Structure 1
Amino acid sequence: MSKTKLHEMRIQKQILQEEMANLVGMKQATYSRKERGISKITMEEWEIMSKILQVEITAIYQDFSRKNQMVSNLKSPHLDIPNYILEEIDFLKRENLELKEEIILLKEKLKGIIKLI
């Protein structure tokens, strides 16, 4: 399995898996499964990890869902799928990520507003 963006960023920041796991609040084995895409990472965990690594979520976020893996399989050289369909899928994936980021920002703003009340 190829290295994930999260793994590469953690290594770049010179943080051990065990350290990262402790900072996120989980056991090293659990963190390892999440980092490799075996276990799901919640949006809250993505937020925590991006803060620890001092990067935007987009720098580490990857969708490991089965749907995403199926889309990746569509790019197999054995399938003859027109490029415009693959390009549209890529566009929709980027747009979906942008919308998820916007939701996170709006949640942060809402938390700030609620604190003021």
Structure 2
Amino acid sequence: MKKEKLRLIRKQKGYTQQQIADFIATDVSNYSRKESGIIKIFRDEWEKIARFLDVPLEDIYQEILLNEVVSGIVTNDEIIKYIEQLEQENSALKHKLDILNGKQIAIKKILE
């Protein structure tokens, strides 16, 4: 789901995606995907962006809400994209967990 509220306020205030990306410590292509709704903006990132833009979090925060789905504001395509996004994030987190578990095993072997 595109973050239209965020995009609108960012543009109104005259900031670029690069400036916000720098502030939240990511690259501009990653931030662009976040703003486009391709990947999730995490809660701490929402808070940082709100501080950067000097607006209340509620002015920019936008996620798919159940009432939007029920009322038809969110299309099936957006829901499918959101599910795919969550699946990608889940896969990435599983991969990171596997790496951490591997490191933990290696550390235990060293300590033995």
- Normalising by the smaller structure, the TM-score range is 0.5 to 0.7
| 1:57 maps to 2:57 | yes
Q: How far apart, in 2, do the equivalents of 1:2 and 1:30 lie? A: 14
Q: How far apart, in 2, do the equivalents of 1:48 and 1:15 lie? A: 14
TM-score (norm 1): 0.55
Partner-residue secondary structure (3-state), 1:62: coil
In the other structure, the counterpart of 2:13 is 13
In the other structure, the counterpart of 2:70 is 74
Structure 2 residues not aligned, in runs of 5+: 73-112
Residue 17 of structure 1 aligns with an amino acid whose one-letter code is Q
Structure 1 residues not aligned, in runs of 5+: 77-117
Structure of larger gyration radius: 2
In the other structure, the counterpart of 2:40 is 40
Query: How many percent identity over aligned positions?
Result: 36
Cα distance change on mapping 1:14 and 1:39 into 2, 3 Å: same
Give the conservation status (yes or no) of the 8 Å contact 2:3–2:62.
Answer: no
Once the two structures are TM-superposed, the CA of residue 2 in structure 1 deviates from its matched residue by 6.2
Cα distance change on mapping 1:2 and 1:30 into 2, 3 Å: closer
Once the two structures are TM-superposed, the CA of residue 20 in structure 1 deviates from its matched residue by 1.2
Give the conservation status (yes or no) of the 8 Å contact 2:5–2:59.
Answer: yes
Q: How far apart, in 2, do the equivalents of 1:51 and 1:61 lie? A: 12
Q: How far apart, in 1, do the equivalents of 2:22 and 2:4 lie? A: 20
Moved over 4 A (4+): none
Once the two structures are TM-superposed, the CA of residue 18 in structure 1 deviates from its matched residue by 1.1
